[in-house]
Amino acid sequence: MTTVAVLADPPVEGAVASGLRGDVLDEAEATALYTAMLCDVCRAVEASGADLLVNYRPPEQVPDGVDPETALREPLSEALHDPDDARYEVQVGSTHAARVGNTVTHLLEREGVQTAAAVTPASGLLARQQIDSAAMKLRSSEVVLGPAGDGRVYYAGFAEPIHFEDAYAPPTVETLTERATDADLAVDFLPSVPVVETTADLRTVVPLLRARHRADRVVPPRTTTLVEELGLRVRGTDDGLELLRE
């Protein structure tokens, strides 16, 4: 069984979603979107065959007066079917790559789990199917990556640790692959899933959510509902795609 660590910041204003704030979304709305994606991602992990680990920032790395664990437990207690089954542990490391590396290495070498993975809360379209597919792939490949736009990854799974220093340097999917193959580890890939970290990402994700919802396909429920409540749409212009509000 894979332990999936969701590396999450506390969903409070000023701590998350800086790349989503702008002309279309204000800070409160961007924070709400981050929270919805976080809940959908954690629920997808819970619904899969994996164990959910919510990996949160230490208090000194979040805004003053914020208890990061409490800030995460509150929305997730409503989103998860069995919130008491989720593990919460503090992240260790000064960079994202270090935090992923410390978590994955600890799980594999100290706790003895067979496989461990790191997931971003910004992968709001992540579904249990990708998580379960990754677990199957990790039986024959030591590293499994889920690519996202602009060379990013939404999922990084490991049966063996790699050299994690600067391993998330962009383009991340290529850097992680290089580190794995340098260690003579086999690498496999999941289908691409978009992440939502910038307004440009919203121009990709919003039409996809609306299309899947219209076609009665599986969608992340909280993220889709919030996109509809905010009236987010994308339209074509002479200059390309424009994100707007209805």
Q: Is the pLDDT of residue 238 over 90?
A: no
Instruction: State the total domains in the chain.
Output: 1
Please give the distance of CA 188 from its chain centroid, rounded to a whole number. Answer: 19
Residue 125 lies in a domain: yes
Residue 240 lies in a domain: no
pLDDT confidence of residue 175:
98
Residue 168 lies in a domain: yes
Residue 83 lies in a domain: yes
Angle (CA) 122 21 174, round 5°: 40
pLDDT confidence of residue 86:
97
Range of the domain at 155: 2-195
CATH number of the domain that residue 148 is part of: 3.90.550.10
| Residue % of the chain over a pLDDT of 90 | 92
